[in-house]
Structure 1
Amino acid sequence: MGQAKSAFLRSISAGASVSMVSAEKVPVDAPTVLVTDCSVNLSRLCECSRVFQYMRNGKMPRDLLMQQIANVDALYCMAALNVNAHNVSSKLNYRNIVVTNTPDVLTETTAELTVALLLATARRLCEGVADVKNGRWGTWEPFYMCGVGLYESTIGVIGLGRIGCSVIEKLKSFHPNRILYNDIQPNEKRSFV
């Protein structure tokens, strides 16, 4: 580990607003990740990375972010309230940091793909195709590769932005018993509520 990163780890550990939250068994040379939100569940990320998380409610102050970001390998930042390309600093491009965005032209396409993946997973479609290709499809069995249906099921959707709302509208046609969802800003005017 370089001197700069080592000094960074000491400074973060000493700071009150950013804390190391990784599991103890993470290798010393594992990548370091700065997480800008205290409400994010990091259990999977902590298994393979040295994770440092902003521990206060609200937005991580810009000066603290700029100070801490210089010596980490990755940044985990959720910008769920406002998708605007102009909000992304040109410094990210300069540092070869990938920023993704799904502008409105991809809303329906992404929602359709989400429903397709849900159906393929629920009905074990890929496993069935693989069995046919590998000659493992034999005689009839009553529940072979049936999977589960969406009809009268309970479906969960996390996030109700444009894409989440479109996914729910498409899933309604399968007549599930319930569609559970969460939203950062509840809106009782939605047509599916």
Structure 2
Amino acid sequence: MRKPTIYITRKIPEYLLEPFKDRLHITMWTSESKPVPKDILYEEAKKADGLLCLITEKINQAFCQYASHLKIIANMAVGYDNIDLESAQKNKIIVTNTPDVLTETTADLTFALLMATARRLIEATNYIYNDQWGEWSPFMLAGSDIHHKTIGIVGMGRIGEAVAKRAKGFNMDILYHNRSRNLEVENELNATYVSFEDLLKESDFVVSLVPLSEATVDMFDKKAFQTMKSSGIFINASRGGVVDEDALFEALDKKIIRAAGLDVFKQEPISSTHPLTKLTNVVLLPHIGSASLATREKMLKLCLENIDLVFQGKQPKTPIY
């Protein structure tokens, strides 16, 4: 009996593949760091029964029609804005993602980004590297306190809850805005549900953890930044598309808000010529929210398990629909 052929769009360690090789014929792109070119992706997808892809792959209507024979697309991410779900569903392609396994790791990074931005850690590091550290002075690199401040979390899903738990350890007041109320986080963490505008007005730290959708594109725009406190700090660990980057640049450059920490951008990767890199009151990371060794292994394992289950005629663990 022929094994189903699975194409993986990035090179991953062989030890993760070994448990599945008896049942699946696995091929993959040759690079760990560079995305598979579009023409090669299409060529390999034509020969494959299943696809394991990253958020760097744009699975659009044209792809779904071209590769309509695929049984499953396993996306190595929680978000799936890189996939045209309507087209996939129309072509009867199962789509899965990797929720839960990266929640705590992403929350760790989100809070670390908040802390690094508030306490100006990158500036302080560069202070030494650039031989700027001379005499000590009372306000040298003075940043913002985190403890006993107000955090406003936009998007109170699993990661939002995990960030709120970390904020509670810093004795922060927790505000949140979501499509619907999360009574569990209100009861357990004494979080308060507020409107988006009130969250912006009242928070010392505004943290974006919303998925990218038609409703959230550029939701953090010029008006949003003008509504924030002038001492406010903005953190984005969700998707770059939820932020109007021109408006954010203006808000940071003109000191409309104090600082920002970003792990995601509208177009990735960014380069050293990106306008935001010219500012000192911003911390920029290369989309590493879930980047711990253990978590990335769990994400890949879950993708492979979902694929394996589908070809055994079973339900995948984490279907999107």
TM band (smaller chain): 0.3 to 0.5
TM-score (norm 2): 0.30
Ranked by relative contact order (alpha carbons within 8 Å, sequence separation 6 or more), the top structure is 2
TM-score (norm 1): 0.48
